[in-house]
A and B are shown apart, each in its own frame.
Chain A
Amino acid sequence: MWKTVLRRILIMIPQLLILSLLVFILAKMMPGDPFTGMINPNSDPKEIARLRQEYGLNDPVWVQYTRWLGNMFHGDLGQSYIQKVPVTSLIWDRAVNTFWLSLMTVVLTYLIAIPLGVTAGRHQDEWQDHGVQIFNYITYAVPPFVFYILGIWLFGFTLGWFPISGSVSADVNPGTFAYFWSRFYHLILPSILCSLISTTAIVQYLRTGIVDNKVEDYVRTARSKGVPENVVFNKHILRNSLLPIAAFLGNTITGLLSGSMVIESVFSYPGMGKLFLDSIGQRDYSTLTALILLFGVLTLIGNLLSDIIMSIVDPRIRIK
């Protein structure tokens, strides 16, 4: 199995190279360079030209590309055009924030979705099922930003239970329990709202899985052995229905990245999604390219993770 994983990782290298090439070409086509914004009426055009020469901006494109790629390998993602700080440090803080938000969201999504899916599947076509279906239609049909704004309005403004923006209060010091608590407190509302709206696919997968598996021949075999009904459900039906959900976990990571853009900008939460949107707005192309590459890597890792999970839980597609 590890051989296959290693091979998959090796295959990722050309995929990433192609992605990086595309991103580089895009960045080159965009207006602006590291000296954008430095030019003011007082600066000497000759000085700018000298700096351009020094930074290698007049080199052939492929030389620039290999240098850029080399820097990337060493963890140097370049300078933000706008913020004038290294992109790496800019992304790092945001990545940590997004990581915690995503983790909370994933955990909550599964905690909400699995019981709902099980209820709907178990009580197919009964009122419990209809209830879950209505919930599903709502979370599917309502646009996320409308849902988030409604949530902020209700729980943030009207009831005042949760903070509505940022990742931590300004008046707490890092390292204290109050700081930790404040960060957690800031995560609750966005992660609950985000997970509620992310459950649709999982609930539906699980419900369909249970409904389909219930009438499978092997379930009948289990009953013919005299296995009690609740064991039949948990050991045979549910376990087999959870398969596609487990594989879904890898894809969830990819989905959360795109989802983070909406939730983070609605909540003014300083994460990667918001950074991405801000970078677009400010035409901060160096940050943008770094983020696109990062998202690309995470997507590939997510897919790989899905395959690995699938091969662990399903003996039929176990990688040899």
Chain B
Amino acid sequence: MEKQSDLLLDIEHLHTAYRLHGKFYDAADDINLTLKRNEILAVVGESGCGKSTIASSIIGLYDHKNTKVTGDILYNELNLVNLNESLFNKIRGNNIGMIFQDPLASLNPLMKVGDQVAETLYYHTDMDEKARHARVIELFNQVGMPRPEEMYEMYPHELSGGLRQRVVIAIAIACKPEIIIADEPTTALDVTIQAQILDLLKEIQKESHSGIVLITHDLGVVAETADQVAVMYAGQIVEKADVKTIFQNPLHPYTRSLLHSMPQTDDESQDLHVIHGTVPSLVNMPRTGDRFAARIPWIPASAHEENPKIHEVEPGHFVRCTCWQSFHFQDEEKKG
């Protein structure tokens, strides 16, 4: 059963705003999320929906001059929002590890990959150089790198994409963090490598009982790996549920539309489903009313809430706005 100590992250009313042309705009708008031990929480959405903003807010890596973060990100009763930098540096890499999208760009081209992993250990452990070296070899073994001793001395450009991402993962898990944030960890990789990396992440999680926040745009990846899913649109969470519910009983029009536009679930002879209109930019985002309303104009305005709230429609299943109740696809209307 769920215990209080299983709660790793409790994000409440998080607002992250970026300064553009002198004004602040919320890129993440009133985010409420929890991450538990042994759980993979997927945050899914298209580019610009604010999913990566959440990742950078949790780990506190954003341009402090042009970003305003409010709300609470509670980790063990410590609020990470606007936390003192030197205190945060003790947490980053130690309690929270991060995995990035592009493994080549994420590694320093002038440093041996082994040293880049050892650097994390240098700042968070008492290990001497020899112990750090041994720990890196151990980590390289754990992430499935062949000939770890040899790999230690390599530079990033000498490794394949899959091996580079294993190095990045080794950096993230070096200090056995309780929380791992993976921001599009497999987007730059081939499908076969993607599968291996996702397996590795799950394996690591099982061993270390950590919680993983998986940021992705790929619904397939979500279906294969996640336990809990939050679907984001235009800076807001529009639907939140366990993975089975999201794929078997999606309710929010956006979730349903996205699943509908996937090529693999479709009949080849037919057109793919296209969502009407385009995603609004950060500056042009509507701040009142249902942000998705403009993408489903055939649904009457009366079906939307004036100020859409997130509702728990069944235990553990949250949906924004009430419009899902009267939602149907445009072609369904013609038929009906």
Contact = CB atoms under 8 A, between A and B. Distances in A.
Q: Do chains A and B touch in the complex (CB under 8 A)?
A: yes
Contact of A315 (B91, B93, B155): B155
Interface in B80-113: 85-86, 88-94, 97-98, 100, 102, 105-110
Given A216-B105, A220-B100, A316-B155, A225 B110 contact: no
B100 A315 contact: no
A314 B110 contact: yes
B171 interface: yes
B119 A222 contact: yes
Contacts of B91: 226
Which of A216, A222, A243, A316 has the largest count of B CB atoms less than 10 A from its CB? A222
Contacts of B59: 224
Contact of B85 (A229, A239, A313, A316): A229
Nearest to B108: A218
Contacts of B88: 226
A221 B156 CA distance: 14
Contact of A226 (B89, B102, B116, B157): B89
Given A225-B119, A227-B119, A315 B109 contact: yes
B109 to A, nearest CB: 6
Contacts of B100: 217, 220-221, 224
Interface string B168-212: 100110000000000000000000000000000000000000000
B110 A221 contact: no
A228 interface: yes
Contacts, number: 73
B136 to A, nearest CB: 13
Given A222-B119, A316-B155, A228 B106 contact: no
B94 A226 contact: yes
Interface in B105-156: 105-110, 116, 119-120, 123-124, 155
B228 to A, nearest CB: 23
A224 B59 CA distance: 7
Contacts of B102: 217
Contacts of B108: 218, 221-222, 236, 240
Nearest to A232: B89
B61 interface: yes
A225 B120 contact: yes
B101 to A, nearest CB: 8
A223 interface: yes
Nearest to A314: B110
Nearest to A318: B155
B92 A226 contact: yes
Nearest to A221: B106
Nearest to B61: A223
A307 to B, nearest CB: 17
Nearest to B86: A228
A173 B235 CA distance: 80
A316 B92 contact: no
Contacts of A313: 110
Interface string A221-261: 11111111100000010011001000000000000000000
Contacts of B90: 226
Which of A220, A225, A236 has the largest count of B CB atoms less than 10 A from its CB? A225
Nearest to B94: A226
Interface string A187-215: 00000000000000000000000000000
A62 to B, nearest CB: 50
Given A240-B110, A314-B110, A316-B155, A225 B85 contact: no
Contacts of A226: 88-94, 120, 123-124
Interface of A: 216-218, 220-229, 236, 239-240, 243, 313-316
5 contacts: A218-B106, A221-B108, A221-B171, A224-B97, A225-B171
Given A218-B109, A224-B172, 9 more contacts: A217-B105, A220-B100, A221-B116, A224-B59, A225-B123, A226-B92, A227-B89, A229-B85, A315-B109
